[in-house]
Chain A
Amino acid sequence: MELINSIFDLLFGSDPELRQIIAVTLRMSLFSTLISSLIGIPAGVLLGANEFRGKAFISRLVNTLLGLPPVVAGLLVLLLLSRSGPLGSLRLLYTVEAMVIAQVLLITPFITAMTANLVGISASSINETLVGVGIRGAKRLKYFLLDFRVPFLSIILAGFGRSIAEVGAVQMVGGNVQFKTRVMTTAIMMQTNMGRFDFAVALGITLLLISFLINSLVTSIQKAALDD
């Protein structure tokens, strides 16, 4: 009972740290999902909608990157952004920006692969139809984007889910710095290690609540798009 009270106190109280953690988590996840979608969806459409030499190789590469362990992505970004690394002068290590970069590395292949698979199923039929009315080349992109707008939202949502739940890479490049780069997953891990299970559970529930709210929002947008 005490645990439940603690959870409610944390969720509906005014703990500044919890608010900060939620804010950083949302900022990181939204930005990384946005950037990954802006790269991954057009790249996925190009990959799924076209036949070209080397397509099979690129598809294999993207699918391989789907299995990229988060700690490896974190390590890569850590090496890039460390003081002695090629981008060390930017001084981005242990910032939210570094966490976003690591997450973009992880989520973009996921969004690209999902998009390419989705578009690939109908690509030849859409292409033939568009060629039939004189629409070729890059002009086709907008028709794919329009036609798959609803499933694209699901892919973006799945990407957001990956982002908000990720812990390995953000721990490595963010450093879990209090009031700066601490996000829900890294905080849950830390609080669990410290034995503060009530705070960890409260964070876990908050994480689920945020996911539920964003899911509901996207579902409403999808419904509106379908009714359009």
Chain B
Amino acid sequence: MIELKDILIKAKDRLILDVPSLRFEKGKRYGIIGENGSGKTTLLRVLMGIVQPNAGSINGLTLDQKVGYLPQSPYAFSVSVLRNISMTLEDRQSPDGLALDALKKVGLGSLINSRGNTLSGGERQRLGLARVLAVPKEVLLLDEPTSATDIRGTDIVEDLLQEWFEKTKGLLIFTTHAPAQALRMADEVIFLEDGKVVETGSPQNLFNNPQEPKTRAFLSHWVI
């Protein structure tokens, strides 16, 4: 279990994140929803130790190779797609084999010899996911993993994450600005606005019967 306590992040006078208490339990999938600038990405960055909060603590998360994080715009190095992954696995046996397997799973098996920096945004996201999943993970933190993918790419990613979750029963935390994706993929939804958790609950409850006016206002923009 990962527990955030009294996390506070401010930039000058602007509140970026204010989370008094939040828990993530192993064996569950969490979808963090909210508008742009609501604090979704910052929350993941705090969990990954990329952003240090001004106050508060995170318990239960050891950042090692079993925790995978996919930024919204993963970087594609100017080497082949295969090497983009295998070069991060040099401490493993058969890095090329692991990389190839991972690429096939995200549907990029035919692009292994292309240069990483020539890929489209959606292909980069799938490359990034393959890089993260090339070795077993217990915790996945994904920042809008399908924001640049097309419908087919989104299906591939969602199916792969479903498969990963069924196999590992690990902890999946992902952000999305599309509530419908949270409905498909999450066991619990967290709605953020202006850096604060407004409401949490199962997707069915939260989307069918939102308690907070802010949640209702956000969901009114979407057809779910």
Q: Which chain A residues have a beta carbon within 8 Å of chain B's beta carbons?
A: 122, 125-135, 143, 146-147, 150, 226, 228
Mark each residue of chain B from 80 to 106: 1 if its CB lies under 8 Å from any CB of chain A, else 0: 000000011000000000000000000
- Which residues in A have their C-beta under 8 angstroms from that of B128? 129, 132
- Which residues in B have their C-beta under 8 angstroms from that of A128? 45, 50, 69, 71, 74-75
Cα distance A134–B78 when bound, in Å? 20
Q: Which chain B residues have a beta carbon within 8 Å of chain A's beta carbons?
A: 45, 48-50, 63-65, 67-71, 73-75, 77-79, 87-88, 128, 131-132, 134
Cα distance A85–B128 when bound, in Å? 56
- Which residues in B have their C-beta under 8 angstroms from that of A125? 71, 73-75
Cα distance A146–B86 when bound, in Å? 13
Chain A interface helix/strand/loop/mixed: helix
- Which residues in B have their C-beta under 8 angstroms from that of A133? 65, 68, 88, 131-132, 134
Cα distance A55–B138 when bound, in Å? 36
Chain B interface helix/strand/loop/mixed: loop
Tell whether A143 pairs with B68 under 8 Å between CB atoms, given A132-B48, A132-B132, A133-B132: no
Cα distance A226–B78 when bound, in Å? 8
Q: Are A135's CB and B50's CB within 8 A?
A: no
Q: Are A132's CB and B74's CB within 8 A?
A: yes
- Which residues in A have their C-beta under 8 angstroms from that of B63? 134
B224 to chain A, nearest CB (A): 29
Cα distance A125–B50 when bound, in Å? 11
Which residue of the partner chain B has the closest CB to A151? B78
Q: Are B71's CB and A147's CB within 8 A?
A: no
